[in-house]
């Protein structure tokens, strides 16, 4: 179970909504050459002046292209480039075209193109799709864009089964060895790109993409980790900010340790909401009673499968504590998955772990043939570059363990140990926690959900306060992110902002 700052939309986790987005004409308000006549260094001009060649994606209505970006923005003339895969779907009309709307589903490591084609390009409100070319890209290191690779499928299967609540020195040593093997695999297979997949690099790529698309300003909807990417862009290029929606926000001022501990508390909040709901149903496998009683029964189940995994239908992957915990966490991203979680837990407690294994596989993006998308590899590569590690070693985890277990009696220990992964990373972090102000940018809408499991509400409050022009829009509800998830109040407020440039009133709640 490696859930460390894996921040993405609920649909990408449960595979209910999908993956990334589109647009169709290359023209737009403001030509690339006139958007920033003096701001782009000469060495970057060949990248900003690229003329995309759009081709059919194989998905009706979408077009794709491939762009070049400098591997190292400090040395753009070296001839070392990365490839960036981009997809779009043209504005459907009628009405005035407003340019491109770039979308990002989070992660880091989530495929923008997958999200566009499976959800945003067809599922965003019709009025938005009518006036914007819907666009997304796989950020560098992700999916089709010079992807980070680390382990083979069988090796990743083993990694996902390693016990992340070690009970003795032997289990602790095995967990450390697994993190080291993971890091070494990334270095062996992806040494060239590992130092150059930070969020700052991805934000600079977005500005290049903005110019190539012919947009003077960047219009953007970022979900989950995508809020950090969007806020980073706004801080780097405040004068080029158009209409930015940051949904399910991160707090860039929090250290890696604090982010992981806050997220642990977020999953506890989400679990308690699930537990209260579960107890209302006669088929609740965790029984009746308050959230504390339900939580205790889940902990007992985790201890049981830790000692004796149950069959899952895959002899090589019985359901142990690590996979069971990941399966539960996957379903907490979206309250619509709660019935599925009840069913999976009921079966697992009766000796059939297939349901929870399927949830865990959806979380890790494991295919039926045993291969994995590169989500988890890119996730670690970006996170470990963006900030120094949460822990220097196992002793530091021991020190912090009580605070994690206080944040979540159910998930605290596992999430604390999962936060050790960057301690063995082969590339030193280039970023650090700091507030992002985006001084001079026009109004930016920050959306927070009060019982969000992955991005706690206080992060949205913090980001809205840091951004000089931040406006907080609150959704009082469950689940991860809010736009396009059934709240007419939220959708109306965001649509008005995207289409008319009118941000919601300060303090608006839905």
pTM: 0.92
In this prediction, residue 292 carries a pLDDT of 86
Of residues 111, 146, 190, 224, which has the active-site annotation? 224
In this prediction, residue 25 carries a pLDDT of 26
* Contact between 323 and 357 (Cβ < 8 Å): yes
* Residues of the chain under the 70 pLDDT cut: 1-38
In this prediction, residue 77 carries a pLDDT of 78
Burial class (CB in 10 A: 0-12, 13-18, 19+), 53: exposed
* Contact between 121 and 21 (Cβ < 8 Å): yes
In this prediction, residue 8 carries a pLDDT of 56
Of residues 205, 408, 419, 480, which has the active-site annotation? 480
Sign of CA dihedral 313, 315, 321, 326: negative
Tokens read off for 396 = 């530091």
* Contact between 8 and 224 (Cβ < 8 Å): yes
Of residues 207, 247, 251, 452, which has the active-site annotation? 452
List of residues 6+ apart from 429 with CB closer than 8 A: 384, 385, 386, 387, 388, 389, 422
In this prediction, residue 287 carries a pLDDT of 86
Burial class (CB in 10 A: 0-12, 13-18, 19+), 74: exposed
In this prediction, residue 9 carries a pLDDT of 56
Model confidence pLDDT, tens digit, residues 333-355: 999 999 999 999 999 999 999 99
Q: How many CB atoms lie within 10 A of CB 183?
A: 22
469 catalytically annotated: no
The DSSP secondary structure of 68-105, one letter per residue, reads EEES-TTSTTSS-EEEEEEEEE----SS----EEEEE-
The DSSP secondary structure of 5-28, one letter per residue, reads T-EE-HHHHHTSS--------S--
224 catalytically annotated: yes
* Contact between 10 and 333 (Cβ < 8 Å): yes
362 catalytically annotated: no
d(CA 9, CA 59): 22
d(CA 355, CA 50): 47
Residues forming beta bridges with residue 70, ordered by sequence position:
81
Q: Return phi, psi of residue 130, to 5°.
A: -70, -30
Sign of CA dihedral 494, 269, 402, 414: negative
List of residues 6+ apart from 210 with CB closer than 8 A: 35, 100, 102, 217, 218, 240
In this prediction, residue 51 carries a pLDDT of 97
């Amino acid at each position: 179970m490696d859930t460390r700052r894996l921040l993405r939309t609920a649909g990408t986790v449960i595979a209910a909504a999908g993956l990334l987005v589109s647009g169709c004409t290359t023209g737009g308000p403001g030509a690339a050459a006139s958007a920033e006549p003096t701001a782009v260094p000469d060495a970057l001009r060949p990248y900003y002046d690229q003329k995309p060649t759009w081709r059919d994606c194989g998905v009706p209505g979408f077009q794709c292209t491939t762009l070049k970006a400098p591997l190292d923005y400090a040395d753009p003339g070296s001839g070392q480039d990365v490839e960036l895969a981009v997809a779009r779907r043209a504005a459907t009309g009628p009405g005035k075209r407003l340019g491109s709307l770039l979308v990002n589903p989070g992660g880091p490591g989530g495929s923008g193109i997958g999200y566009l084609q499976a959800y945003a390009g067809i599922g965003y409100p019709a009025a938005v799709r009518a006036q914007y070319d819907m666009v997304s890209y796989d950020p560098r290191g992700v999916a089709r864009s010079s992807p980070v690779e680390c382990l083979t499928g069988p090796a990743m299967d083993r990694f996902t089964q390693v016990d992340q609540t070690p009970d003795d020195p032997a289990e602790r040593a095995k967990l450390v060895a697994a993190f080291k093997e993971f890091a070494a695999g990334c270095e062996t297979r992806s040494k060239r790109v590992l130092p150059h997949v930070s969020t700052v690099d991805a934000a600079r790529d977005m500005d290049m993409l903005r110019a190539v698309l012919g947009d003077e300003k960047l219009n953007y909807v970022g979900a989950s980790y995508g809020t950090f990417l969007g806020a980073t862009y706004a801080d780097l290029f405040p004068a080029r900010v158009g209409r930015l929606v940051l949904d399910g926000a991160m707090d860039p001022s929090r250290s890696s340790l604090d982010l992981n501990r806050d997220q642990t508390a977020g999953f506890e909040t989400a679990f308690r909401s699930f537990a209260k709901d579960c107890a209302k149903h006669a088929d609740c496998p965790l029984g009746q009673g308050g959230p504390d009683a339900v939580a205790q029964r889940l902990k007992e189940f985790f201890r049981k499968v830790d000692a004796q995994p149950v069959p899952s239908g895959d002899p090589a992957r019985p359901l142990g504590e690590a996979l069971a915990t990941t399966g539960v966490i996957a379903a907490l991203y979206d309250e619509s998955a709660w019935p599925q979680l009840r069913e999976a837990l009921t079966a697992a407690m009766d000796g059939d772990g297939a349901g929870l294994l399927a949830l865990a596989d959806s979380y890790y993006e494991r295919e039926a043939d045993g291969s994995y998308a590169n989500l988890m590899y890119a996730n670690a590569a970006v996170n470990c570059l963006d900030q120094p590690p949460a822990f220097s070693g196992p002793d530091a985890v021991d020190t912090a363990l009580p605070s994690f277990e206080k944040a979540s009696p159910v998930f605290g220990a596992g999430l604390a140990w999962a936060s050790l992964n960057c301690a063995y990373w082969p590339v030193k972090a280039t970023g650090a926690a700091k507030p992002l102000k985006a001084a001079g940018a026009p109004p930016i809408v920050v959306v927070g959900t009060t019982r969000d499991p992955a991005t706690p509400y206080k992060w949205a409050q913090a980001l809205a306060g840091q951004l000089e022009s931040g406006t907080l829009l609150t959704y009082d509800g469950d689940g991860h992110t809010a736009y396009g998830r059934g709240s007419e109040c939220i959708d109306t407020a965001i649509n008005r902002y995207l289409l008319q440039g009118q941000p919601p009133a300060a303090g608006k709640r839905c």
